[in-house]
Amino acid sequence: MKSNFTDKLSLIKRVSGLVMAACMLVITGLQQASAQIDATRAFEQLGTELPTPNTYRTGSGAPGRDYFQQKADYKIKVELDDENQRIIGEEVITYYNYSPDPLNYLWVQLDMNMFKDNSINALSKTGGINEQMSSRQLTGMQSASSVFGDVDNTRERGYDIKFVKNASGKNMTYTINSTMMRIDLDEPLTTDQSVDIQIGWSYNMASYYGRSGFEYFEEDDNYNYFVAHWFPRMCVYDDVNGWQNKQFMGRGEFALVFGDYEVDITVPDDHVVVATGECENWDKVLTRKQRQRLDEASKATDPVMIVTQDEAIENSKTKSTKKQTWKYKAENVRDFAFASSRRFIWDAMQTDVYGNGRKIWSMSVYPKEGNPLWEQYSTKVVEQTLKTYGKYTIDYPYPVAISCHATAGGGMEYPMISFNGGRPEADGTYSERVKRGMIGVIIHEVGHNFFPMIVNSDERQWTWMDEGLNTFCQYLTEQEWDSDFGSRRGEAQTMIPYMRSDPSMMQPIMTNSEQIIQFGNNAYGKPAAGLNILRETIMGRELFDFAFKEYARRWAFKHPKPADFFRTMEDASGVDLDWFWRGWFYTTLPADQDLAEVEWFSLDTQNPEITKAEARAKYEKSRETLSVIRNKTDIKETVEESQERYQDFYSTYDEFEVTEADKKRYEAYLNTLTPEEKELMESGMNYYALKIKNKGGLIMPVIVKMEFEDGTEEVVRFPAEIWRMNSGEITKTIPTQKRVKKFILDPYQEIADIDDSNNAYPREPEQPTRFQLYKRSRGSAPNPMQEARSAQEAATQSAD
């Protein structure tokens, strides 16, 4: 023990006498009386930071008795012009006003206008001139055309609105403001009334830019189309914002209204179309063989090929000039998207995901460029996602979930359908990173069916409410798919590099989507890590899972705001979390707990057999100096030479010998103690006072691992409220029967502590920072599958 602690701390400090009140203060770990109380707001209730509860949204986080939301039904006829990569459509919107407010006008979203050169998206671009710039880079600085496939920028961009009419065909007055269109009504739309609006439009599609568009394949002169935010869509009108008509600038996604859809999609008759909802006319658009395969897939537990790779390759060799219309219907969805191509491979299975007798289709479509990865993994990953998300939220209510392979990277979500990346090399090999990236993005985008497609938050304002919650559920799903998955986001430790970064490049999670600097860390990673900290460390799995499921249940098919989430998590768990929301969501403070000092105490029993033996050992230790050691051989003592002359009482007196008087005093002392006091006296308990500093400023629980001298260990946990009287520094005293060799804070990396070098006491030596001798490499390194293949080929050639 003495060799492991510093000299100061290795000294056993004795408490003289048995003052029971003082001992109990130590045992219960109360703060030292002299500690300064930090005047911080860390544990204040959020109060004015959250909106005042009302009859629309309650203080418990549940919808109130007067909660309302609007509805918008769509009947759409759309044609995909494969020759010109153009969308041409007409729609009838039936808009229902369930608010208490009369509406004099309606707001409609025109997202494709983001690509016009006079859009806010284009005009607000920033950037300087580099020494070398292409003409496309230069023109792209001043326009929104960088995602378009036309090099010469000749294609017109944005919506061409053909007409806006009422139910009787009369032209309506409308005003277009960039990506928003206001439609003026002849008379106010009052409560419980509806209005029909007819709109005709067209637009030129862009190259796929992560949300929508096309991918061109030069080898067979064909396109894969991924069609989303393609039709004029109603804005949300709610009790918090009125109209949510914030402009679309590309990043802040969508705030949308639930409704029912009937959509006729006209495409070349050799295309395969998948879309939101259920196809109403498979009997007309599919071949007999494809229908037979679908019937087989409806009974299968593994994916069945509806269109094989060979069939898709053959189909892409010719282009039909005929057209056919696919009819889709979807109920109670907030959006509609579709994908179309003659190059699609298609597999599917319809399984009882939740064991309740209701079957759900899991499907995938992908070009041959996606194989072998997509055929092996995609559809089973879709099913896994529905299963795990349903476990932690609500059962998936829709009849189908579709994964479409769209280019090499990224992903985007829509109701029942998502566009996902992840593509192997041209030779069919791939790295583990590419495989896990593909599986992760499919889980993430299919998972978005729950957040925000069902729990319908406002993505235009609060990205974290869908991306952060979804990334957390993605982490849970990845672990249930494979416990060795190596999730990129989710655990607290994954956020340490971000929490260490330049404070000027960090913003609170509660930042509007368009103003976020480190988008992935802020809106995806940090919220997900925060939920994991709540689940594993602060609340525990049982309380967290119940509250999180309650939030999903309360707000399924409704429009929650941040306060509704915060309040529900507290209401359903009985855990006060305002300190956590304040620190993790409203600030950029990092966690950095410093175990600055440890003091070791034990109780003075006053037993002379013990106290005098310890005093003797201490005295003898004090005499082990270099001078004393040398004097024993180098000098002759005067007293030693003339023993009789200088002898007296003290010549034979041993101050460390236990006398009868000592024994009697100790016996008298014991007679004054109660049985409980005697038990405490004889327990041999050690008390360790840990001084812990909150250097980062972020309040977090304190987790301490004790490594004992006998080789065993123990972890003790203290709630965040341990900081409530002083958020800067505390002293926590831990009683233990065993002697402790080392203390370690946050041993399992639970709180995203940015500096673990100050987490141990005694301090652990730092590891060296390693560096490499650098040599320029030529070409990209092969992936492991390519290396193995090359080795096999070399071995075969050698054998030959």
Is the pLDDT reported for residue 564 higher than 90? Answer: yes
Note whether 60 and 567 are within 8 A (CB).
yes
Give the 3-state DSSP-derived string for 676-689, with helices as H, strands as E and coil as C: HHHHHHHCCCEEEE
Backbone angles phi, psi at 197, to 5 degrees: -130, 130
Mean pLDDT of 619-631: 89
pLDDT tens digit sequence for 233-247: 999 999 999 999 999
Note whether 731 and 32 are within 8 A (CB).
yes
Note whether 199 and 77 are within 8 A (CB).
no
Helix or strand or coil: residue 215? strand
pLDDT at 602: 85
Note whether 45 and 553 are within 8 A (CB).
no
Helix or strand or coil: residue 691? strand
Strand order in the sheet with 180-189: 174-177, 180-189, 103-109, 233-234
C-beta neighbour count of 777 within 10 angstroms: 7
pLDDT at 2: 36
Residue where the block lists tokens 């959006």: 335
Tokens of 582: 């304040």
Confidence of residue 777 (pLDDT cuts 50, 70, 90): low
Cis peptide bond prior to 503, omega within 30° of 0 = no
The CA dihedral of 281, 286, 292, 296, to the nearest 10 degrees, is -70
pLDDT tens digit sequence for 125-158: 777 788 787 766 666 665 665 566 554 467 889 9
Distance separating alpha carbons of residues 699 and 530, to the nearest angstrom: 13
Confidence of residue 69 (pLDDT cuts 50, 70, 90): very high
Mean pLDDT of 243-253: 93
Is the pLDDT reported for residue 37 higher than 70? Answer: no
What is the DSSP secondary structure assignment for residue 146, as one 8-state letter? G
pLDDT at 17: 38
Is the pLDDT reported for residue 617 higher than 60? Answer: yes
- Tell me the C-alpha to C-alpha distance, in Å, between residue 644 and each of 637, 647, 740: 14, 5, 50
Listed range (96-110, 409-423, 625-639, 698-712) with the worst mean pLDDT: 625-639
Listed range (186-190, 331-335, 340-344, 636-640) with the worst mean pLDDT: 636-640
C-beta neighbour count of 21 within 10 angstroms: 6
pLDDT at 520: 95
Phi-psi region of 484 (alpha: psi -120 to 50; beta: other; left: phi over 0): alpha
Residues 152-166 as b or e (16 or more Cβ within 10 Å = b) = eeebebbbebeebbe
Distance separating alpha carbons of residues 466 and 477, to the nearest angstrom: 16
When comparing pLDDT for 618 and 7, which is higher?
Answer: 618
Tokens of 780: 């990209």
Measuring CA to CA, which residue among 674, 460, 555 is closest to residue 67? 555
- Average of per-residue pLDDT values in the chain: 90
Could you tell me what percent of the chain has a pLDDT over 90?
Answer: 73
pLDDT tens digit sequence for 182-216: 999 999 999 999 999 999 999 999 999 999 999 99
pTM of the full structure? 0.88
C-beta neighbour count of 67 within 10 angstroms: 17
Helix or strand or coil: residue 653? coil
Is the pLDDT reported for residue 21 higher than 70? Answer: no
pLDDT tens digit sequence for 90-123: 999 999 999 999 999 999 999 999 998 888 877 7
Give burial (CB, 10 Å; 0-12/13-18/19+) of 619: exposed
pLDDT at 33: 34
